[in-house]
């Protein structure tokens, strides 16, 4: 079936609106193709700044522009909201679900950029008490948990309970953990100082804990040590070689290297210890010769396609390619490469003629606190790496991240929020709503109800094709005609 309700152009389906998916879609803007981007959120998310949403520096809108608006000017692109449940490689169809509505979208070429989820290393029940840091929901919930703990401590007159409420544990000392621990410490010491009557927020304990023996292991010993020193100056307790073996509402149990265990009483915990690639990788492996690595990432061929399917590409955090880290640049460059390979195919180039994907390592950075960051920048054409830390690295971090935020208005709003947050003790985004605090429990219950309903339903819900969706469901169409009717407006794509 034609994907675009009558159009016979080559149809590219892109799964995911993150760095890989959005870049691939944008890259195809002038190609003679129709593109359908299917994602489970209505926004593109700039994950590297989620910790700033969680700690009240910026608002969620600044890092999560609506993809529909970002792509408004791209005539050959349509957006479909839905959770992709299955990719049928034989029929070349992507099956997605929005609530009870199932949609089937056929493809000629497919780019899968569904990213990664938090991994609890087989202890998925930890998620209830220690949310990860992957989505806007996670960041807002964490903001609610941090500020909620201070509020509860203010009302308590039991010193032990107060101590538990004012102990914050960040599990995982990678870049996200370092950034979060630094910001929770800074928020307690500066923003919340003097705002309570019964507690002193500056006495809050922030613990950064990891089973590994070092902070920021991917950035090397020197920078890891610098980051640890700076965090300790800020009062963050660093506990290494400490593995979390159990976790509940009131605290965590940690196993030391010598096998002994101990308990940390703490209400607010956040998990930034590991990632597992999207389960869509195993969906591919079930139907083809695709192999996965230990993190569930797809071992792609040198042209980022999968064995036996030269028209199916896997990019970003879902792909396993030697020397390519799970970072934004890997996804951006992979998305761009896949889009170009599809265009080259339309121009008559065979898959065998594709040059292998080559990653350009532009370096890594992590902020620690205001005015302090660490950065590792490879010198092009050599094996040398510049390692820097402190104020210069921090300015570099701010500048680079500002460039990659999508949309001029978002960049401006972020700059204003930063000026406010870094030149005063205040932060402008300290709102907490009941929905943020209770959302995870409510969503969990909803999912249970919904899956019970589906299991009880003997008759399978018939899938809706994109053409049916045009006709009677209101799901966005992929037709060129629809897109031509769309009002013109300034695109926010950067
Ligand atoms: C807190 C945090 C901080 C980070 N900091 C940095 C940093 O400082 N520098 C850096 O370079 N990298 C950083 N990263 C990593 C970087 O964000 C990722 O490498 C990058 O986002 C990967 O891009 P992607 O397109 O593969 O996946 P993502 O950006 O995660 O996008 C995945 C997309 O797929 C969608 N999706 C997933 N499953 C489905 C499904 N079943 N159906 C439909 N849609 C689906 C999602 O909604 C999303 O739109 C950070 C990541 C996190 C979480």
In this structure, is residue 453 part of a structural domain? no
Evaluate whether 22 touches 44 at the Cβ level (below 8 Å): yes
Residue 315 neighbours by CB under 8 Å, 6+ apart:
20, 24, 111, 112, 113, 304, 331, 334, 335, 337, 338
Q: What is the pLDDT of residues 402-412, one digit of tens each?
A: 998 988 999 99
Number of domains observed in the structure of the chain: 2
Question: Does 175 share its domain with 323?
Answer: no
Evaluate whether 313 touches 341 at the Cβ level (below 8 Å): yes
Domain boundary residue among 389, 413, 432?
Answer: 432
Q: What is the pLDDT of residues 351-363, one digit of tens each?
A: 999 999 999 999 9
Best residue among 328, 334, 338, 396 to mutate for probing ligand 1's pocket (most ligand atoms within 8 Å of CB) is 328
User: Within 10 Å of residue 398's Cβ, how many Cβ atoms?
Assistant: 17
Q: What angle do CA 474, 45, 325 make, to 5 degrees?
A: 130
Question: What would the two tokens of residue 111 be?
Answer: 């780019």
Interval between CA 115 and ligand 1 midpoint (Å): 5
Q: What is the CATH number of the domain that holds 177?
A: 3.50.50.100
Question: Does 213 share its domain with 349?
Answer: no
**Residues spanned by the domain of 325:** 10-40+82-118+276-353
Interval between CA 253 and ligand 1 midpoint (Å): 30
In this structure, is residue 405 part of a structural domain? yes
Residue 41 neighbours by CB under 8 Å, 6+ apart:
17, 64, 81, 135, 136
Nearest residue by C-alpha to atom 5 in ligand 1: 48
The pLDDT of residue 492 is above 50:
no
Q: What is the CATH number of the domain that holds 26?
A: 3.50.50.60
With a threshold of 0.85, does the pTM exceed it?
yes
Catalytic residues: 179
Question: Does 146 share its domain with 243?
Answer: yes
Interval between CA 240 and ligand 1 midpoint (Å): 27
Interval between CA 19 and ligand 1 midpoint (Å): 7
Res. 436 pLDDT band, cuts 50 70 90: confident
Interval between CA 113 and ligand 1 midpoint (Å): 9
**How many angstroms separate the CA atoms of 85 and 463, rounded?**
12
In this structure, is residue 284 part of a structural domain? yes
pLDDT of residue 383: 82
**How many angstroms separate the CA atoms of 352 and 303, rounded?**
9
**How many angstroms separate the CA atoms of 81 and 42, rounded?**
6
Question: What would the two tokens of residue 370 be?
Answer: 């205001």
In this structure, is residue 452 part of a structural domain? no
Evaluate whether 308 touches 338 at the Cβ level (below 8 Å): no
Question: What would the two tokens of residue 286 be?
Answer: 């079930």
In this structure, is residue 478 part of a structural domain? no
Domain boundary residue among 304, 329, 353?
Answer: 353
Q: What is the pLDDT of residues 370-391, one digit of tens each?
A: 899 999 999 888 888 999 999 9
Number of the ligand 1 atom closest to the C-alpha atom of 84: 42
Could you give the C-alpha distances from 377 to 119, 362, 382, 398, in angstroms and in order? Answer: 28, 6, 11, 15
pLDDT of residue 485: 33
Interval between CA 47 and ligand 1 midpoint (Å): 6
The pLDDT of residue 474 is above 70:
no
In this structure, is residue 466 part of a structural domain? no
Question: Does 187 share its domain with 317?
Answer: no
The pLDDT of residue 414 is above 90:
yes
Res. 336 pLDDT band, cuts 50 70 90: very high
Question: Does 133 share its domain with 21?
Answer: no
Domain boundary residue among 292, 326, 353?
Answer: 353
Q: What angle do CA 47, 26, 324 make, to 5 degrees?
A: 50
Largest separation between any pair of C-alpha atoms in the chain? 75
What is the 3-class SS of the chain, one letter each residue?
A: CCCECCECCEEEEEECCCHHHHHHHHHCCCCCEEEEEEECCCECCCHHHHHHHHCCCCCHHHHCCEHHHHCCCCCCEEEEECEEEEEECCCCEEEEEECCEEEEEECCEEEECCCEEECCCCCHHHHHCCCCCCCHHHHHHHHHHHHHHHHHHHHCCCHHHHHHHCEEEEECCCHHHHHHHHHHHHHHHHHCCCCCCCCCHHHCEEEEECCCCCCCHHHHHHHHHHHHHHHHHCCEEEECCCEEEEEECCEEEEECCCCCEEEEECCEEEECCCEEECCHHHHHHHHCCCCECCCCCEECCCCCEECCEEEEEECHHHEECCCCCCCHHHHHHHHHHHHHHHHHHHCCCCHHHCCCCCCCCCCEEEEEECCEEEEEEECCCCCCEEEEEEHHHHHHHHHHHHHHCCCHHHHHHHHHHHHHHHHCCCCCCCCCCHHHHHHHHHHHHHHHHHHHHHHHCCCCCCCEEHHHHHHHCCCCCCCHHHHHHCCCCCCCCC
Best residue among 14, 15, 18 to mutate for probing ligand 1's pocket (most ligand atoms within 8 Å of CB) is 18
Number of the ligand 1 atom closest to the C-alpha atom of 326: 19
Q: What is the pLDDT of residues 223-254, one digit of tens each?
A: 999 999 999 999 999 999 999 999 999 999 99
Q: What is the pLDDT of residues 116-141, one digit of tens each?
A: 999 999 999 999 899 999 999 999 99
Question: Does 131 share its domain with 104?
Answer: no
Lowest-pLDDT choice from 115-119, 204-208, 481-485 = 481-485
Given CA atoms 177, 298, 117, 210 in this order, what sign does their dihedral have?
Answer: negative
Q: What angle do CA 34, 39, 45 make, to 5 degrees?
A: 115
Number of the ligand 1 atom closest to the C-alpha atom of 401: 8
Q: Distance between alpha carbon 310 and the CA centroid of its chain, in Å?
A: 27
Q: Are strands 268-271 and 275-277 parallel, antiparallel or unpaired?
A: unpaired
In this structure, is residue 489 part of a structural domain? no
Nearest residue by C-alpha to atom 15 in ligand 1: 327
In this structure, is residue 22 part of a structural domain? yes
Question: Does 249 share its domain with 377?
Answer: yes
Question: Does 137 share its domain with 251?
Answer: yes
pLDDT of residue 448: 76
Question: Does 91 share its domain with 209?
Answer: no
Q: What is the pLDDT of residues 73-120, one digit of tens each?
A: 999 999 999 999 999 999 999 999 999 899 999 999 999 999 999 999
Question: Does 196 share its domain with 128?
Answer: yes
Q: Tokens 């390692």 sit at which residue?
A: 387
Strand-pair partners of 376: 364, 387
Question: Does 339 share its domain with 222?
Answer: no
Residues with CB under 6 A from ligand 1: 15-21, 38-41, 47-48, 50, 83-84, 113-115, 133-134, 175-176, 278, 280, 316-318, 326-329, 331
Evaluate whether 16 touches 113 at the Cβ level (below 8 Å): yes
Question: Does 394 share its domain with 406?
Answer: yes
Number of the ligand 1 atom closest to the C-alpha atom of 45: 29
């Amino acid at each position: 079936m034609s994907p675009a309700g009558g159009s016979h152009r080559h149809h590219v389906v892109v799964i995911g609106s993150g760095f890989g998916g959005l870049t691939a879609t944008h890259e195809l803007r002038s190609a003679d193709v129709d593109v359908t981007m299917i994602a489970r959120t209505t926004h593109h998310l700039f994950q590297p700044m989620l910790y700033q949403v969680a700690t009240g520096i910026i608002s969620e809108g600044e890092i999560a522009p609506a993809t529909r608006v970002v792509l408004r000017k791209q005539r050959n692109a349509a957006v479909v909201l839905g959770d992709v449940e299955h990719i049928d490689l034989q029929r070349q169809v992507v099956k997605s679900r929005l609530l009870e509505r199932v949609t089937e979208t056929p493809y000629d070429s497919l780019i899968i950029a569904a990213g990664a989820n938090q991994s609890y290393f087989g202890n998925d029940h930890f998620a209830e008490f220690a949310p990860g840091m992957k989505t806007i929901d996670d960041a807002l919930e964490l903001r609610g948990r941090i500020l909620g703990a201070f509020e509860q401590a203010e009302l308590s007159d039991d010193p032990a309970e107060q101590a538990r409420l004012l102990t914050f544990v960040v599990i995982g000392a990678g870049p996200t953990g370092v950034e979060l621990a630094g910001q929770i410490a800074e928020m307690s010491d500066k923003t919340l100082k003097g705002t309570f009557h019964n507690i002193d927020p500056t006495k809050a304990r922030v613990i950064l804990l990891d089973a590994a023996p070092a902070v920021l292991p991917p950035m090397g010993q020197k920078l890891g040590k610098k980051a640890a020193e700076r965090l300790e100056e800020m009062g963050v307790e660093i506990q290494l070689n400490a593995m979390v073996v159990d976790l509940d509402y009131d605290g965590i149990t940690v196993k030391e290297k010598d096998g002994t265990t101990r308990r940390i009483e703490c209400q607010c915990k956040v998990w930034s210890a590991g990632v597992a690639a999207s389960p869509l990788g195993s969906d591919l492996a079930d139907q083809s010769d695709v192999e996965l690595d230990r993190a569930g990432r797809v071992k792609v061929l040198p042209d980022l396609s999968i064995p036996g399917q030269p028209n199916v590409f896997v990019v970003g955090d879902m792909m396993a390619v030697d020397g390519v880290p799970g970072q934004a640049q890997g996804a951006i460059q992979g998305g761009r490469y896949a889009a170009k390979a599809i265009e080259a195919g339309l121009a008559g180039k065979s898959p065998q003629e594709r040059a292998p994907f080559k990653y350009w390592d532009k370096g890594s950075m992590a902020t620690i606190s205001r005015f302090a960051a660490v950065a590792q920048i490879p010198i092009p054409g050599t094996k040398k790496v510049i390692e820097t830390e402190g104020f210069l690295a921090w300015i570099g971090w701010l500048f680079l991240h500002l460039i990659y935020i999508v949309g001029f208005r978002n960049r401006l709003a972020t700059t204003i929020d930063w000026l406010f947050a870094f030149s005063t003790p205040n932060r402008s985004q300290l709102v907490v709503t009941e929905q943020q605090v209770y959302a995870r429990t409510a969503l969990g219950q909803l999912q249970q109800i919904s899956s019970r309903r589906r299991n009880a339903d003997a008759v399978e819900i018939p899938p809706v094709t994109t053409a049916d969706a045009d006709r009677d469901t209101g799901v966005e169409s992929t037709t060129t005609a629809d897109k031509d009717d769309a009002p013109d407006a300034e695109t926010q794509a950067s």
